[in-house]
């Protein structure tokens, strides 16, 4: 039908043009009347149809894309994971993608300014946890932006004690809190580092209401700051990671810097996908002993709290949805090939691709779960 209408309109336009060209030679006024109302309308439709394909064409990613990330470090897990995904996506689409480590505040600003698709973003759960904890600069990403595809998990979020600690397990820690002992936990407040601390307080409250008051935060900064808090006897437990702290678990027990894992927050199904060799000298099976269900930090008395640090795309709210569809299709093809999974696992990431719609629902549900935990313990923080 469109082909026939286009032809009819084109011929009508040509007819109108021919009459106008011949007007100076016309002998009678009646010749002009051949330019009927129908002909004029058809000619106008023709012009509109010529413009329409340009106006309605689905937008695609431009040749050069800036991928901002919520970290300023080019040596951390956010940059490392984003670089793997960016390289694969650029190759699949035949475009250039540059990873730019500008930090969370600047990344969200840059994304908010660009609705054309020149700027995309990759970050992790900090993007919404920062908002839940009221950190300055963190708007609700589900309101101000479009949350997109998940691409990977870092399963390494962990809690550790010194090798000379009387606490051998999370059960020991929660029992100590129930008995009235004060347990100091070094964290970096306002996000991924704090959510496990919130879970500890929540579990203490479920097990022995009121004992959550004995789980207290020691607010620090970077991982080295948290480590030092333990070594200086300012904290009994610290938040850390498998990647950053496993090396200290291999030191002699009488070394001041020696540490022991007591809890790895990742879901067991996530850890089971890690290489059997694990990381360093800690095997996957050994890691699983510090994760649910072997190590239990209850969520509500019936199920355990778990936390996977997931990386995902974010888009400008007003960007053409066709670009999200384009990235969906490209990532589907990339993960179907399988090579990216090998690269991610080699860097101790767990592949976790979900298309945009599915990922958005998953992350929305996840956010709601953690919002309830934070709300439940907020009065006692």
User: Would 251 be classed as within a structural domain?
Assistant: yes
In this structure, the answer to whether residues 164 and 142 fall within a common structural domain is no
Domain CATH code at residue 169: 3.40.190.10
This prediction has a pTM of 0.83
In this structure, the answer to whether residues 249 and 195 fall within a common structural domain is yes
Write the pLDDT tens digit of every residue in 3-32.
444 444 444 444 444 444 444 444 444 544
**What pLDDT is stored for residue 226 in this prediction?**
96
In this structure, the answer to whether residues 165 and 230 fall within a common structural domain is yes
In this structure, the answer to whether residues 252 and 326 fall within a common structural domain is no
DSSP state of 253: T
Write the pLDDT tens digit of every residue in 131-142.
999 999 899 999
In this structure, the answer to whether residues 281 and 192 fall within a common structural domain is yes
Q: How confident is the model at residue 35 (pLDDT cuts 50, 70, 90)?
A: very low
The tally of CA atoms less than 13 A away on the side-chain side of residue 258 is 10
Q: Is the pLDDT of residue 110 over 70?
A: yes
For the chain, give the mean pLDDT. 88
User: Would 216 be classed as within a structural domain?
Assistant: yes
Domains: count for the chain:
3
User: Would 186 be classed as within a structural domain?
Assistant: yes
User: Would 222 be classed as within a structural domain?
Assistant: yes
Instruction: Examine the fold and report which residue of 284, 307, 330 is the final residue of a domain before the chain moves on.
Output: 307
**What pLDDT is stored for residue 378 in this prediction?**
79
Q: Is the pLDDT of residue 56 over 70?
A: no
Write the pLDDT tens digit of every residue in 271-310.
999 999 999 999 999 999 999 999 999 999 999 999 999 9
Q: What percent of the chain has a predicted confidence (pLDDT) above 70?
A: 84
Write the pLDDT tens digit of every residue in 170-203.
999 999 999 999 999 999 999 999 999 999 999 9
Write the pLDDT tens digit of every residue in 336-354.
999 999 999 999 999 999 9
Write the pLDDT tens digit of every residue in 40-52.
445 444 444 444 4
In this structure, the answer to whether residues 348 and 268 fall within a common structural domain is no
Mean pLDDT of 123-149: 96
User: Would 379 be classed as within a structural domain?
Assistant: no
Of 3, 1, 6, 31, which is closest to residue 18 (Cα–Cα)?
31
User: Would 381 be classed as within a structural domain?
Assistant: no
Q: Is the pLDDT of residue 33 over 50?
A: no
Alpha helices in 170-216 (DSSP H): 170-178, 192-207
Domain CATH code at residue 341: 3.40.190.150
Backbone φ and ψ for 47, nearest 5 degrees, come out as -60, -40
According to DSSP, the β-strands at 64-69 and 119-124 are parallel
Instruction: Examine the fold and report which residue of 307, 329, 352 is the final residue of a domain before the chain moves on.
Output: 307
Q: Please give the residue range of the domain that contains residue 43.
A: 2-56
Residue partners of 191: CB distance under 8 A and separation at least 6 = 125, 126, 129, 130, 133, 135
């Amino acid at each position: 039908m469109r082909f026939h209408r286009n032809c009819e309109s084109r011929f009508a336009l040509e007819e109108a043009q021919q009459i106008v060209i011949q007007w100076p030679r016309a002998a009678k006024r009646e010749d002009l009347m051949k330019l009927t109302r129908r002909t004029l309308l058809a000619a106008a439709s023709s012009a509109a149809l010529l413009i329409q394909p340009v106006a309605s064409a689905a937008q695609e990613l431009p040749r050069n894309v800036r991928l901002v990330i919520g970290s300023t470090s080019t040596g951390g897990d956010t940059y490392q994971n984003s670089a793997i995904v960016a390289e694969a996506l650029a190759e699949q689409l035949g475009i250039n993608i540059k990873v730019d480590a500008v930090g969370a505040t600047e990344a969200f600003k840059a994304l908010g300014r660009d609705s054309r698709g020149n700027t995309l973003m990759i970050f992790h759960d900090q993007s919404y946890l920062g908002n839940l904890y009221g950190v300055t600069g963190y708007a609700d990403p589900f309101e101000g932006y479009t949350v997109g595809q998940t691409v990977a998990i870092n399963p390494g979020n962990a809690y550790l004690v010194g090798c000379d600690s009387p606490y051998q397990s999370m059960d020991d820690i929660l029992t100590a809190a129930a008995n009235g002992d004060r347990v100091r936990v070094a964290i970096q407040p306002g996000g991924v580092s704090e959510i496990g601390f919130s879970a500890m307080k929540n579990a203490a409250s479920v097990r022995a209401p009121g004992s959550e008051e004995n789980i207290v935060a020691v607010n620090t900064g970077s991982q080295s700051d948290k480590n030092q808090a333990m070594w200086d006897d300012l904290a009994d437990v610290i938040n850390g990671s498998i990647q950053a702290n496993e090396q200290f678990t291999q030191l002699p027990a009488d070394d001041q810097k020696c540490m022991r894992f007591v809890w790895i927050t990742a879901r067991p199904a996530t850890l089971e996908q890690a290489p059997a060799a694990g990381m360093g000298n800690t095997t996957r099976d050994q890691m699983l002993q510090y994760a649910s269900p072997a190590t239990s930090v209850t969520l509500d008395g019936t199920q355990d709290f778990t936390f996977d640090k997931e990386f995902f795309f974010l888009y400008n709210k007003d960007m053409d949805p066709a670009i999200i569809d384009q990235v969906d299709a490209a990532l589907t093809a990339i993960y179907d090939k399988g090579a990216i999974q090998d690269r991610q696992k080699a860097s101790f990431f767990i592949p976790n691709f979900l298309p945009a719609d599915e990922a958005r629902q998953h992350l929305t549900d996840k956010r709601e779960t953690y919002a309830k935990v934070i709300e439940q313990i907020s009065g006692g923080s």
